[in-house]
Chains A and B, each alone.
Chain A
Amino acid sequence: MGLTHYLALAAALFLVGMAGVLIRRNSLIVFMSIEIMLSATNIVFAAYSRLHGDLAGHVFVLMVFAVAAAEAAIGLAILVEIHRLRRSVNVDDLNTLME
């Protein structure tokens, strides 16, 4: 198992996540897909950290976790509010950015 395998796994996960963000309509699924993309990056961080024998990569992974957790909390709160207002969490209905 070399670096390439880890990077390939990370790339595959990232693409899966990206596809989820681009294709799915349910905001919750979009959120989860973002988490997958973040995890893919974490794998890259961890792999390079190991390669260089340097702890900085691990620290970044922890920070990404923290940010992801915070994002999930705030994002879910926003989604709940949106659902309350609009009775929908379908991203195609949420085009108020246009205005």
Chain B
Amino acid sequence: MESHALDTSLRWIVLVPLLGAALNGLLLRRMPRRAAGLLACAAVGASFLLSVAAVVRLAGLEPHHRLLADSLGTWLDIAGVRVELGFAMDQLSAVMALVVTGVGFLIHVYSLGYMAHDPGFNRFFTYLNLFIFAMMMLVLGENLVMLFVGWEGVGLCSYLLISFWFNEEANAAAGKKAFIVNRIGDFGFLLGMFVLGAALLPHLGGGEGVFSFRTIAAHTHELAPWATAIALLLFLGATGKSAQIPLYVWLPDAMAGPTPVSALIHAATMVTAGVYMIARMNMVYVLSPTAMTVVAVVGAVTALFAATIALTQNDIKKVLAYSTVSQLGYMMLACGVGAFAAGIFHVMTHAFFKALLFLGAGSVIHAMSGEQDMRLMGGLRRKLPVTWPTFLIGTVALAGVFPFAGFFSKDEILWKAFSEGNPGLWVVGFLGAGLTAFYMMRLVVLTFFGDNRASEEVRHHVHESPATMTVPLVILAALSVVGGWLGWPHFLGGANRFEQWLAPVFEAGAGGHGADAAHGAAAHGAATHAAASTEWLLAAASLSLALLGLYAGYRAYVGRATLAGKLHAFAGGRPHRVLLNKYYVDEGYEASLVRPGYALSDRVLFRAVDTGLIDGLLVNGTALLVSITSALLRLFQNGKLRFYAYVFALGAAAFVLYLALTI
């Protein structure tokens, strides 16, 4: 018998948000707004409480048998392909479940205030609940297929929510872009799944679900020859979902949705799915050094690349969007160097402070009557007494200042990159961290310092947001401060409980990194001691860099003579322009893929194939053939009796002739 505890509450963690969405969206469409909003919040809140209860039960189990399972039965059992409609919670799912439902709940509450005057209020909360449902399905799915269903679900929900204000052409286009770019990634994901299934099926006994994570973990030996292909294809899916190079382009555009959506997508749910998936599939990834290298390099490059773009953006949400892309790069970098626990740690802390920053930005936008351009903000410190300090906490947390949450997770990643023998990746990540501090300070200065540059009318209306919005900000700010302490590292005298907690999940593959942590520093003696001094050095370096970045950002933008002007003057403004236009990547895609695609569909598919071949030759051609034939046949039906008789006689003669010749 399997050593796991049955726990039927898992299904309710997933299904309660679905129930909320169904009630709100299908049954009670005319429900008053307050009730709809509260129902949605209650659904997620219940899901959160159930998750907490489940995690408590999980923690009560013996560390190496920590697994709760629930099954609604067998979904598929065709030709040896067996898929359970099952849920499972291990240490990794537990972290994700708490983050998704917890941060998700705060975002729901915040939305009550933020969306209060929106005519699509009920629809909004239906989508939000559906989003949480899909994400929980992804996180708690017992096998890759369930994960994929959730994966597609969050894709759908992101489409619905990004183009929530669909009356604007740009919003609809952004939703479409998110959906299509993600489809490209999902194509890779599916292929990866197929390869995995094909590689695994011949080796399975009866009753084993082929895509079940436990089955995969138990058969890594058979998977080894295919690991690179599987890992890379799945990673393509992850680059789509988690907005890595080359498929990150949808995420900045996703800012078109309402701000709570940005917070939800960016912080807690969708974009972390790629990181979660790679961590979940760690037993396959560690089989392939090639794939690991690709993941690490793509992550590191994305981290730096996106950070440089964030330097020049003027839309407050766009800066945060590129920052998310960059931070996701760090998470990928962590996975790529085998530090899955550090990656998930960053997922968690990032969820706290990025949700905080987005919701704070939402609060600013709310105060500025919908203005998002930072060039028209400024001086909001005194006007927003709650938003301002919480936003500052989020900023220093993201910049990685000790002892805020971001410091622990980001430093853990950089340290792992360095200690796993990749000083190059460390340098890239290190530079990215400095840029992060800089652009975040730029954002803070442009928004909260100096004089207000908005129009008289807007300035008159500036006000702090209602309590439904500020309370989540305060809670998230608190989490952004203390959230990182779970992973207080050894070199600072902690035990890194977070890594210990996750260790059993990554033990199988990670070549014992997890085990190292689990055994604690004492087991390592001198080697650990030497490493610790290097770790001290690196941490000090990155802390100094973060502070330097913050200071530079402050100096460069405070006052009237902004750095933007100076940058503009530098080298004729060309570097600035390149950054401002995001390296022309969108334009490149437009020219190399989108426009040829349009040309192909217009000229070849539409004009040649559709109108030419199908309409012209096949449809109208058939009609033409029939009409020609009938025109010929009409000649015979002339009503002239003698002609009929003549034909008749000819026929008779032919018949006689035939008889004469054959007999």
Contacts and interface: CB of A to CB of B under 8 A. Distances in A.
A98 B642 contact: no
A56 to B, nearest CB: 24
Nearest to A95: B639
Interface residues of B, number: 10
A30 B645 CA distance: 11
A97 B642 CA distance: 12
A22 interface: yes
A39 B637 CA distance: 30
Nearest to B650: A22
B638 interface: yes
A99 B638 CA distance: 9
What does DSSP make chain A's interface, helix, strand, loop or mixed? helix
Interface of B is mostly: helix
Contacts of A96: 639
B194 interface: no
Interface string B92-126: 00000000000000000000000000000000000
A95 B638 contact: yes
Nearest to A25: B642
Contacts of A92: 640, 642
A76 interface: no
Nearest to B638: A98
Nearest to B639: A98
Interface string B628-644: 00000000011111101
Nearest to A19: B649
B638 A22 contact: no
Interface string A1-35: 00000000000000000100111010000100000
Interface string A81-99: 0000000000110111111
Interface string B162-180: 0000000000000000000
Contacts of B637: 98
B589 interface: no
B646 interface: yes
B645 A95 contact: no
Contacts of A95: 638-640
A92 B639 CA distance: 9
Contacts of A97: 639-641, 644
A94 B641 contact: yes
A21 B645 contact: yes
Contacts of B646: 22
Interface of A: 18, 21-23, 25, 30, 91-92, 94-99
17 contacts: A18-B649, A22-B642, A22-B646, A22-B649, A25-B642, A30-B642, A91-B640, A91-B641, A94-B639, A94-B641, A95-B638, A95-B639, A95-B640, A96-B639, A97-B639, A97-B640, A99-B639
Given A94-B641, A96-B639, 7 more contacts: A21-B642, A22-B642, A22-B646, A91-B642, A97-B640, A97-B641, A97-B644
